Each structure stands twice: as C-alpha cells, then as structure tokens.
Amino acid sequence: MQFFGGSEISPSPPVPTVSGNNAHMMYVFNRNGVCLLYKEWNRPLHTLNPQQDHKLMFGLLFSLKSLTAKMDPVNADKGNLGVPQLPGQGCSFHSFRTNTYKLSFMETPSGIKIILVTHPKTGDLRESLKYIYGLYVEYVVKNPIYNPGSPIKSELFNTALDQYVRSIS
C-alpha cells in the first residue's frame, strides 16, 4: 500500500537521486486506461504509432501488476491470475529495468498511474513520482475547467513538469 502524507506539494522537491541522461518519456493513465498525458523528451526509436504504443504500455503494466500480485511470496491468499486488482490491492511493482531503459511506476489509490522511462542507471524514483503526482493534483485536479478522464492540456502543468524532470536528470 502506498500512503501520501499531506495534501499539498512540499515546498521544495525531494533531493534528486538520479544520475545520468535526461528522461526519455512519461505517461499518465487513469484507471480506465485513458492516456491523460504523454511527454517525450528523448526517444530515438518509435516502434508503434501513438495509440498502439499507449495501449501496449497500459496493457503491459496491467499484466505486470497481475503477475506480481500472483507471484508475491509473502502473502498466502492470492486471487487467480488475471483477476482485476483494485488499486493498492496485492503486491505491486515500482520499477523494472532493461539494458536500455528503466521504467518507474506509481499507482495512486484513485487509479492514476504515473510512468517515467529513464536511463537504466537511474536510482529510485518513487519520491520523484510522488512529487509529480503532487504537481498533477495542484495544476490539473484543482483546475475547475479540467474534465476528469480527458487528456491534460494545462500549460502550467506542462511547464512545471518539464522543469522538474529536467532538474532530476
């Protein structure tokens, strides 16, 4: 389970633990699989068109969560593989690493999934993802014109996010 202490953004972002190149890209999904935000800073290789890419990413994360809930060696009572899990239920993963990238993942209790794809030598980004969620709450959720479930088009959010992600690289 993940707990979020306090409802306002901390005055200063957490000390960056990462070292290495800039972040590659970032996704934000809601609980229905709608891609609310996709940002790309450095992506030389595009394998699929954007819609397929988002669907594939969401599907991968959904299946990985199902896998980790089932493979959990500590909890004795697990559901069957493939049973949809509520956010926060069952063991969830927070990152995976390949030889070319590292994907950091965070799911909030409301089902918002934040994904950051970075250089493989990046450290633990959980605090940074929490900070980004704080930015989302301040600039997007608290915006009265924003329609929940629709793609995010807030300039302020984009700028703040850009600034923060560049600062952790």
Task: State the residues that interact with other proteins by CB under 8 A.
Answer: 24-25, 42-45, 47-48, 53, 56-57, 59-60, 63-64, 66-68, 70-78, 81, 91-101, 103, 117
Q: How far is the CB of 115 from other proteins (least distance, A)?
A: 10
CB 128, min distance to other proteins, A:
15
Cβ-based nearer residue to other proteins, 25 or 37:
25
Question: Considering beta carbons, is residue 97 or 166 the nearer one to other proteins?
Answer: 97
Provide, rounded to whole angstroms, the least separation between the CB of residue 99 and other proteins: 5
Which of 122, 73, 72 minimizes the C-alpha distance to 97? 122
In the complex, the smallest distance separating the C-beta of residue 161 from other proteins, rounded to whole angstroms, is: 18
Using N-to-C axis directions, what is the helix angle for 126-136 and 155-168, rounded to 10°? 160
DSSP string for residues in 21-64: S---EEEEE-TTS-EEEEEESS-----S-HHHHHHHHHHHHHHH
Report, in Å, the least distance between residue 4 CB and other proteins.
16
Residue 141 in tokens:
């959720």
Q: Which is nearer to other proteins, 101 or 146 (CB)?
A: 101
Q: CB within 8 A of 11, min separation 6: which ones?
A: none
Residue position matching structure tokens 């329609």: 147
When the beta carbons of 108 and 139 are compared against other proteins, the nearer one is: 108
Q: Which is nearer to other proteins, 114 or 117 (CB)?
A: 117
